[in-house]
């Protein structure tokens, strides 16, 4: 049983959850069976801080209480900084069993029939929003155990439980399929790179031959971006901040540092940047290099128009890599007006102010667009999004001076992740060009040293530093071929 207690003098009328969330004063939500340390503190009607035990108690439903969805999402997202998901689910189940006497011989079945739908709704929201938590067999064991107890109380819930489990298994199967495809794509890319090293003459095709239209290539890039964005779990942002040996978390690092899909997305950005540079630098003839640069500028512009800011930034990053940027004779054959406009859009000055304005405009456009429309697409510059999360994490303390958990940080995380979830739920409306997609994902990509070597062979080194670097790279290349 829970009740609110004023930090000054309690009023006998303040006896319900919502009545006590008033704007004047600070109130603590206490478990009457525990000590006063287990409290939730409200300020100006907003949940501000509390103990982990009190937060767990607050998320457990009853017959006439269900936690707000915003609270549930925020707590499930960030609680993993303090407790493992499987331990959290275990604790929630134990609270339910004790409070509702689920295993007691004298349980009130009619009362429990009103409680079980609320508990199943909680589990449904958890499995829908954070399905990757349930890749842990301990989570599945707790889930099966508590749902079977619900069925034992009320057999009519069997269908609901079945639907919950089927939906979860489908989500996990989709993730497993995606990760399998990702592994096969990476293997194919590695094999093509190995073939190139064995026979350089075999690498004849360039991206314009495969996809002459910059607009179509921008569409295919958007397919890849949305597919990879979709498979990032919202919890991966929080888990990326986990530090080995963190006192606050009291959790095993290897248990929570699961950010495979987030890391794969960052790797995709790097691949695209180096693919752009490779496509330019591999050509000996200047006119071919100039043509490729102009082509990628047009692709970047189409990405901007679509709202695909991640591919836009990756392409601009590739064109700004030193092996490409130093090709002065090549750039001299290009009208850089469009390039300069895009550079301004992605200018890092004042924490990417111009980009953030463009992102807001794209978000506003998406809000008014119909489902399935191209204007629904918003793909943020992902590295900057992760950086924003990082600084939010570093800038807000995990705990208050009294040792309570700082829930304001949870709210801020939840607000930003909610936007991310909206972006990744959009289906790509463009037709797929499988040949272009395959090329983008598996075409050989030069290393930084290989790019420099190709660049110097295209346009001779000008400075002493470049001449020394070129000499060193040639020696390394000769040594590796022996």
Q: H/E element holding 2?
A: strand 2-6
CA–CA separation, 147 and 97 (whole Å): 12
**Nearest residue to 223 via CA among 324, 303, 300:** 303
Over residues 393-414, mean pLDDT: 90
pLDDT in tens, 92-148: 999 988 888 877 777 788 888 899 999 999 999 999 999 999 999 999 999 999 999
Tokens encoding 398: 């995990």
395 or 276, which is more confident: 276
Tokens encoding 431: 């037709």
Residue 259 near residue 240, CB atoms below 8 Å = yes
* Residue 36 neighbours by CB under 8 Å, 6+ apart: 5, 28, 30
Helix (H/G/I), strand (E/B), else coil: 178:
helix
Q: So what's the pLDDT on residue 27?
A: 39
- Band (pLDDT 50/70/90 cuts) for residue 14 is very low
CA–CA separation, 90 and 337 (whole Å): 60
CA–CA separation, 470 and 458 (whole Å): 12
Over residues 48-69, mean pLDDT: 92
CA–CA separation, 415 and 436 (whole Å): 36
1 or 44, which is more confident: 44
Calculate the CA dihedral of residues 73, 127, 57, 97 and round it to 10 degrees.
170
Helix %, strand %, coil % of the chain (to 5): 65, 5, 30
Helix (H/G/I), strand (E/B), else coil: 399:
strand
Query: Does residue 164 carry a pLDDT above 60?
Result: yes
Q: So what's the pLDDT on residue 384?
A: 94
Query: Does residue 29 carry a pLDDT above 60?
Result: no
Helix (H/G/I), strand (E/B), else coil: 207:
helix
Q: So what's the pLDDT on residue 52?
A: 92
Tokens encoding 405: 């958990």
pLDDT in tens, 242-286: 664 444 444 444 454 577 899 999 999 999 999 999 999 998 899
- Band (pLDDT 50/70/90 cuts) for residue 428 is very high
CA–CA separation, 95 and 90 (whole Å): 9
pLDDT, the chain, mean: 86
**Nearest residue to 327 via CA among 286, 269, 273, 369:** 286
Residue 274 near residue 188, CB atoms below 8 Å = no
Count other Cβ atoms within 10 Å, centred on residue 441.
20
Q: So what's the pLDDT on residue 203?
A: 66
Q: Give the pairing type, strands 27-31 and 2-6.
A: antiparallel
Over residues 219-231, mean pLDDT: 95
Residue 95 near residue 33, CB atoms below 8 Å = no
Locus of tokens 């979860």: 168
Over residues 211-228, mean pLDDT: 97
Helix (H/G/I), strand (E/B), else coil: 393:
helix
* Residue 382 neighbours by CB under 8 Å, 6+ apart: 229, 265, 266, 269, 310
* DSSP-derived secondary structure for 33-74: TS-TTSEEEEETTEEEEE-HHHHHHHH---SS----HHHHHH
* Residue 384 neighbours by CB under 8 Å, 6+ apart: 352, 355
Q: So what's the pLDDT on residue 202?
A: 63
Angle, in degrees to the nearest 10, between helices 286-306 and 260-281 = 140
> What is the percentage of the chain residues whose pLDDT exceeds 70?
87
- Band (pLDDT 50/70/90 cuts) for residue 15 is very low
Tokens encoding 458: 């295209």
In sequence order, what E strands does 340-443 have? 405-406
Q: Give the pairing type, strands 405-406 and 2-6.
A: unpaired
Which of 98-107, 245-254, 293-302, 383-392 shows the lowest mean pLDDT across its residues? 245-254
Tokens encoding 356: 């953030």
Q: So what's the pLDDT on residue 7?
A: 33
CA–CA separation, 137 and 116 (whole Å): 23
Over residues 18-40, mean pLDDT: 44
Query: Does residue 393 carry a pLDDT above 80?
Result: yes
pLDDT in tens, 325-372: 999 999 999 999 999 999 998 899 999 999 999 999 999 999 888 887
Over residues 34-55, mean pLDDT: 79
């Amino acid at each position: 049983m829970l009740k609110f207690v004023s930090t000054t003098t309690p009023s006998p009328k303040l006896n319900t959850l919502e009545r006590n969330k008033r704007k004047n004063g600070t109130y603590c939500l206490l478990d009457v069976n525990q000590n006063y340390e287990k409290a939730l503190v409200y300020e100006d009607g907003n949940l501000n801080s509390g103990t982990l035990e009190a937060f767990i108690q607050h998320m457990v439903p009853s017959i006439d209480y269900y936690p707000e969805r915003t609270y549930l999402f925020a707590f499930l997202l960030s609680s993993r900084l303090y407790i493992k998901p499987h331990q959290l689910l275990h604790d929630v189940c134990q609270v339910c069993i004790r409070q509702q006497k689920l295993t007691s011989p004298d349980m009130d079945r009619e009362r429990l029939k009103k409680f079980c739908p609320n508990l199943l709704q909680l589990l449904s929201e958890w499995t829908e929003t954070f399905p990757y938590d349930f890749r842990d067999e301990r989570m599945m064991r707790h889930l099966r155990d508590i749902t079977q107890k619900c069925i034992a109380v009320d057999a009519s819930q069997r269908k609901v439980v079945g639907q919950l489990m089927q939906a979860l298994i489908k989500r996990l199967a989709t993730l497993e399929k995606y990760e399998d495809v990702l592994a096969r794509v990476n293997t194919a890319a590695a094999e093509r790179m190995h073939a190139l090293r064995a026979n350089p003459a075999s690498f004849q095709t360039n991206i314009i031959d495969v996809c002459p239209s910059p607009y179509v290539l921008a569409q295919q890039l958007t397919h890849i971006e949305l597919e990879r964005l979709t498979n990032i779990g919202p919890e991966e942002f929080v888990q990326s901040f986990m530090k080995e040996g963190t006192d606050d978390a009291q959790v095993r690092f290897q248990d929570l540092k699961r950010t495979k899909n987030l890391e794969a997305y960052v790797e995709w950005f790097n691949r695209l940047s180096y693919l752009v540079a490779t496509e330019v630098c591999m050509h000996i003839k200047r006119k071919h290099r100039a043509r490729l640069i102009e082509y990628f500028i047009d692709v970047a512009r189409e990405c901007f128009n679509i709202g695909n800011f991640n591919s836009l930034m990756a392409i601009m990053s590739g064109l700004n890599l030193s092996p490409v940027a130093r090709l002065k004779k090549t750039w001299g054959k290009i009208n850089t007006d469009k390039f300069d406009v895009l550079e301004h859009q992605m200018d890092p000055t004042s924490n990417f102010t111009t980009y953030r304005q463009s992102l807001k405009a794209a978000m506003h456009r998406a809000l008014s667009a119909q489902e399935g429309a191209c204007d629904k697409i918003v793909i943020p510059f992902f590295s900057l999004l992760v950086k924003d999360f990082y600084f939010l994490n570093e800038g807000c303390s995990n705990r208050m001076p009294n040792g309570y958990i700082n829930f304001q940080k949870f709210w801020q995380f939840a607000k930003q992740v909610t936007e991310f979830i909206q972006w990744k739920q959009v289906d790509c409306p463009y037709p797929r060009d499988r040949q272009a997609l395959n090329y983008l994902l598996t075409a050989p990509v030069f290393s930084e040293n290989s790019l420099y070597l190709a660049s110097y062979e295209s346009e001779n080194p000008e400075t002493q530093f470049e001449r020394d670097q070129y000499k060193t790279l040639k020696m390394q290349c000769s040594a590796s071929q022996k």
